[in-house]
Amino acid sequence: MSELKVDKVSPRSGTYVSLNTVGSKNIIINGDMSIAQRSTSVASITGSGYYTVDRHRLAISSLGTWTMSQDTDVPTGQGFATSLKMDCTTADAAPAASDVMWVQHRIEGQNLQYIKKGTANAESLTLSFWVKSNKTGTYIAELEDTDNSRHIAKSYTIDSSNTWEKKTITFAGDTTGTLTNDNNTSLELHLYLGAGTNYTSGTLATSWASTTDANKAVGQVNLADSTANEWYITGVQLEAGTTASDFEFLPYDVNLRRCQRYYQNVVRTEQDIPVCMASSWSTTTAYGIFPLYTTMRATPSLDQVTGSSYYRYYNAFDSSDYFDSFELFIGTPNIVNLRNADSMTITSGQSGWFVLLNANAYLAFDAEL
């Protein structure tokens, strides 16, 4: 893919000079694990979801209990400041057949048209990353084409305990199955951490083939077999071609905006923080317009913590009322209209603002894949 350059004419020479160059070779968003809008650490995880580091989803089914965190343990001298850490807190040394866990990255089809999947010119993809664990042995990385139910999987080995190692894996291009050109998931990266026999009893799908569960994670070690086990990863890069280039570091603000396409944290765990301006439509309901920070992937849903008097409508006449939660009245990927979900006693026609009142509350918008 081409680079986006912002140029200006030099007042001295009259020639163009580059002010900023934003690369776009890395298909993975937030591969350096620097953005964590939801939380930097979540404990007691037993189910699938987005928990900490943006764009990196945990998929898990009955395979132990985990703490997922953004960590500062990184490979020395490589430019990274943060990593994603998985820490086993309740072990599962004998997984049932259907037990499985992987770290997942979902990718929009419209971001992948240039790899020409499903044509004679399909591009190979090369995955590179830094990884560290006390649990040595074989691990599996898989690409799954969810549009056409196809997949390919390759193994890598953690050779030395508690040592950062760089891994590079090349996946051949797939001449079967074009990817849909839209904003839905077309390709997923799966980094397995454990799997039962439903996923390991076949032959590893080292070439593109129809998705077969038994061929997904053959040979995968079980990271869940001890509470002493930990796994770290950073510098995840997926790019077109058969060789791995140096990791593409983006400016923090650029990386944040890319993450905010999928999730936007408005305000979190801070008392008396304004959310947006609002006006009272009636004696019970107020509405507030919130322009989103950047265009989101789709019209978002609300992600919030609710509770008794967690929020307040404060008007210009120095009076206010409290409510427990918001609802999204109407919205687009660019702007949303919020209103109180619980009835208030207010004066119609006055202006004011919505305020987050409780330190346990947060408000965010979610358009994740």
Query: Are 363 and 262 contacting, i.e. CB atoms less than 8 angstroms apart?
Result: no
Tell me 2's DSSP state. Answer: P
- Asked, for residue 31, whether it belongs to a domain, the answer is no
Tell me 157's DSSP state. Answer: E
Pair 236, 337 in one domain:
no
Pair 160, 90 in one domain:
yes
Pair 219, 302 in one domain:
no
Other CB atoms within a 10 A radius of the CB of residue 128 amount to 22
Pair 236, 301 in one domain:
no
Tell me 258's DSSP state. Answer: H
Pair 250, 271 in one domain:
no
Pair 119, 167 in one domain:
yes
Pair 147, 282 in one domain:
no
- Asked, for residue 9, whether it belongs to a domain, the answer is no
Full domain range(s) for residue 309: 263-366
Pair 86, 233 in one domain:
yes
Pair 243, 351 in one domain:
no
Query: Are 66 and 89 contacting, i.e. CB atoms less than 8 angstroms apart?
Result: yes
What is the full DSSP assignment across 106-133? EEEGGGSGGG-TTSTTPPPEEEEEEEEE
d(CA 363, CA 305): 7
pLDDT tens profile 283-335: 999 999 999 999 999 999 999 999 999 999 998 766 789 999 999 999 999 99
Say which residue the tokens 């317009």 belong to: 289
Structure tokens, 163: 């040592």
Q: Is the pLDDT of residue 46 over 80?
A: yes
Structure tokens, 129: 């990353």
Of 296, 178, 168, 286, the C-alpha closest to 238 is 168
Q: Is the pLDDT of residue 356 over 80?
A: yes
Query: Are 200 and 110 contacting, i.e. CB atoms less than 8 angstroms apart?
Result: no
pLDDT tens profile 138-185: 999 999 999 999 999 999 999 999 999 999 999 999 999 999 999 999
Pair 283, 244 in one domain:
no
- The beta-strand segments (E) located in 74-116 are 83-90, 100-108
Q: Predicted confidence band at 258 (pLDDT cuts at 50, 70, 90)?
A: very high
Q: Predicted confidence band at 268 (pLDDT cuts at 50, 70, 90)?
A: confident
- Asked, for residue 35, whether it belongs to a domain, the answer is no
Q: Is the pLDDT of residue 8 over 90?
A: no
Query: Are 195 and 95 contacting, i.e. CB atoms less than 8 angstroms apart?
Result: yes
Query: Are 286 and 353 contacting, i.e. CB atoms less than 8 angstroms apart?
Result: no
Pair 248, 315 in one domain:
no
Q: Kindly report the pTM of this predicted structure.
A: 0.93
For the chain, how many structural domains are there in total? Answer: 2
pLDDT tens profile 9-42: 333 334 333 333 445 899 999 999 999 999 999 9
d(CA 258, CA 74): 23
How does strand 273-280 pair with strand 286-291? antiparallel
Pair 155, 256 in one domain:
yes
What is the full DSSP assignment across 162-216? T--EEEEEEE----S-PPPSSSSEEEEEEEEEEE-TTTTSS----S-EE--GGGS
Phi, psi for 153 (deg, rounded to 5): -140, 140
Give the rounded distance of the alpha carbon of 213 from its chain centre. 24
| Alpha-helix runs per DSSP H in the chain | 252-260
The CATH number of the domain holding residue 144 is 2.60.120.260
